[in-house]
Structure 1
Amino acid sequence: MVKARDLDPSASPLDYYGSELRRLREAAGLSQPQLGSCVFVTGSLIGQIETTKRVPTRDFSERVDAALGTDGAFSRLVGLVLRSQLPSWFQAYAEMEARANFISTYQCQLVYGLLQTERYARAVLGVEHRERLDELVAARMERQRILSRDNPPALLVVLDEAALYRQIGGPAVMREQLSRLLEFRDSPWLHLQVLPFSVGQHAAVMGSFTLLRFDDDPDLFYSESYDSGHMTANPRVIRERSLGYARLQGTALSREDSATLIARVMEERYGEQPEPDRRAVA
């Protein structure tokens, strides 16, 4: 069993978090069960986080900060910890996404990660990552915090109509997810359009992609395959994909018509279903 005293705080953000939690807990004169009682978790969970057996959540970190009077230290650190739980090939993109001032994305199969509900994300990630599912879901929810910043990035999303019909997690999860999309219809910084089936072939028929823009750095193009991501600042690629994205926006439904379609699919496909008649048949 890994002991906190054997951890190298410089080994990873998670190791550093665990060692700091133990150090500051002991400095406060608290046992693991005592701190657990203060933050409404078990002492065992405190021990697991201190020895990197469990990954802390943001809610846990905020409660620990309050209990230990650490002036937001753990709340600031947990973002780095959760980002480190992302697949290694995705971490570089996540760092750039968090810095971007302008994000343009086309998604052909799934709702864009920054707009996913927790239950939708859990269903998507749970297909192949059940052993680390809680950590990956927490990391995806942490990514979404950029949308609630005082100065969030401008976000343009073109979502293929297929993503509305691909049932992820069941009807209740899909209804919740589409309802979440409708919450953004009047957002001043998010522009959501649906690319309808009727368009046929289009400028992104080869698959999903994202363009990131920055104030002081070159634009980036990002796409991914099964287990890897590709990011480039090649000017020719940026120019071609930017033009392709403009074409997608031109052929997609308007913001208002997109919201109408989302609402219709939500009600017709994922609406509340009546309870089955369980009366015995005479």
Structure 2
Amino acid sequence: MTHINVLDPGASPLDYYGFELRRHREAAGLTQKQLGDIINYTGSLVGQIETARKLPTPEFSERADAALGTGGLLSRLVTLVMRSQLPAWFQQVAELESRATEISTFQMGMVHGLLQDREYVRATLGTIDETNLDDRTAVRLARQRIFEKEEPPVFWMVLSEAALYQEIGGAETMRGQLAHLLSFEGNPRINVQILPFSAGAHAGLTGSFNVYRFAGDPTIVYTEGYGSGHPTANPNTVKDCSLRYDHLQAAALSLRDSAELIRRVMEDRYGEQRDSVA
């Protein structure tokens, strides 16, 4: 008789997901292999997810929901699963992102995680640690599902021009990332402004920061260090950072000029001819 690993659904969101996947699969009278065949995944992967040894993806969840007629249950649960896999100190940030009506961020050295594409994510996360890189990449990308909500937040990013030249992951990765930024042109809810080198001394020299605004809660300012995050609703800090952000936006290029600069850097610095020379 095959041993069946018994999960405690209350142990973690991942265990709960596995428990519900198995419960609905068995109710449908399907083996792991049969379900895998239907949704185009291996039966082995289905088993690993059911026993909380592998992270489900949003794509897996959507296919399983459709196959098992769960009414979107697994797709709702996968958001909690992904958030639970973030570092403990960062989970509060993901919660802030999910509840915010407006997110304003100033970034000095690299693109904010909510606007990173897959290869850029892998390059940043794998800099000194490639452990479980696929899963960690999926977890970061899952945060971007906030833009798929019925009422997604308005997102503003002022990005230092230096971040366009900081070659993360190689020329091809950078070309893809800059193209990803350009894909948001015309989207009034996702806005990218570049703070040019010509701005000189500016209001963000102290470092990167985020401002989260909510429908009925106080505004939160968030800054980050190595392995730690620092959210605060202190009125003086919020007032100071809000003023700094206004000045950063005023010093930054317009949305149109920012897109033109991104396009120019993408072509001149990371163009296809550079790959052929290398």
TM-score range, shorter chain: over 0.9
Provide the residue aligned with 2:127 in structure 1: 127
Q: 1:66 aligned to 2:66?
A: yes
Number of aligned positions between the proteins: 275
Question: What amino acid sits opposite 2:225 in the alignment?
Answer: S
Query: Which secondary structure state, in structure 1, belongs to the residue aligned with residue 253 of structure 2?
Result: coil
Change (3 A) 1:276 1:265: closer
User: Quick one: distance in 2 between partners of 1:83 and 1:270?
Assistant: 33
Amino acid at match of 1:67: A
Name 1:102's counterpart in structure 2: 102
User: Where in structure 1 do 4 or more consecutive aligned residues deviate above 6 Å?
Assistant: none
Residue 228 of structure 2: aligned partner: 228
SS at match of 2:237: helix
Equivalent-residue separation in structure 1 for 2:210 and 2:235 (angstroms): 15
Distance 1:186 1:27 in 2: 46
Would the aligned equivalents of 1:32 and 1:46 in 2 still touch at CA under 8 Å? yes
Is contact 1:209–1:222 with CA below 8 Å preserved after alignment? yes
**SS of 2:181 mapped into structure 1:** helix
More displaced 10-residue stretch of structure 1: 59-68 or 140-149: 140-149
- Is residue 220–residue 238 contact of structure 1 (8 Å, CA) maintained in 2? yes
Which stretch of structure 1 is more off in the superposition, 80-89 or 141-150?
141-150
Structure 1 length normalisation: TM-score?
0.93
How big is the shift at 1:119?
A: 1.1
Instruction: Describe the superposition over 1:242-273 as per-residue Cα deviations: whole angstroms up to 9, x where unpaired.
Output: 01111111111222221111111000001111
Distance 1:82 1:98 in 2: 13
Residue 253 (structure 1) aligns with: 253
Using the TM superposition, give the Cα deviation of residue 183 of structure 1 relative to its aligned residue in structure 2, in angstroms: 1.8
Q: Is the 8 A contact 2:171 2:275 kept in 1?
A: no
In 1, Cα distance between equivalents of 2:274 and 2:60: 39
For residues 130-141 of structure 1, what are the structure 2 equivalents within 5 Å?
130-141=130-141
Partner of 2:155: 155
Distance 1:179 1:275 in 2: 16
* Distance in 2 separating the partners of 1:5 and 1:133: 26
Tell me the equivalent position of 2:6: 6
Residue 28 of structure 2: aligned partner: 28
Aligned ranges for residues 128-207 of structure 1 at < 5 Å?
A: 128-207=128-207
CA deviation after TM superposition for structure 1 residue 197, in Å: 1.5
CA distance in 2, matches of 1:87, 1:128: 16
**AA matched with 2:240:** E
Q: Name the counterpart of 1:40.
A: 40
* TM-score, normalisation: structure 2: 0.94
Query: 1:132: how far off?
Result: 2.3
Structure 1 residues 169 and 274, CA gap change in structure 2 (3 angstroms) = closer
Contact 1:82 1:135 in 2 (8 A): no
C-alpha contact 2:106 2:157 (8 A) present in aligned 1: yes
* Percent of pairs with identical residues: 56
Give the secondary structure class of the aligned counterpart of 2:106.
strand
The CA RMSD measured in Å over matched residues stands at 1.6
Supply the distance in 2 between the matched residues of 1:274 and 1:197 (Cα, whole angstroms): 24
Residues 4, 50 of structure 1: 8 Å contact kept: no
Q: Distance in 2 between matches of 1:125 and 1:101?
A: 27
Amino acid at match of 1:76: R
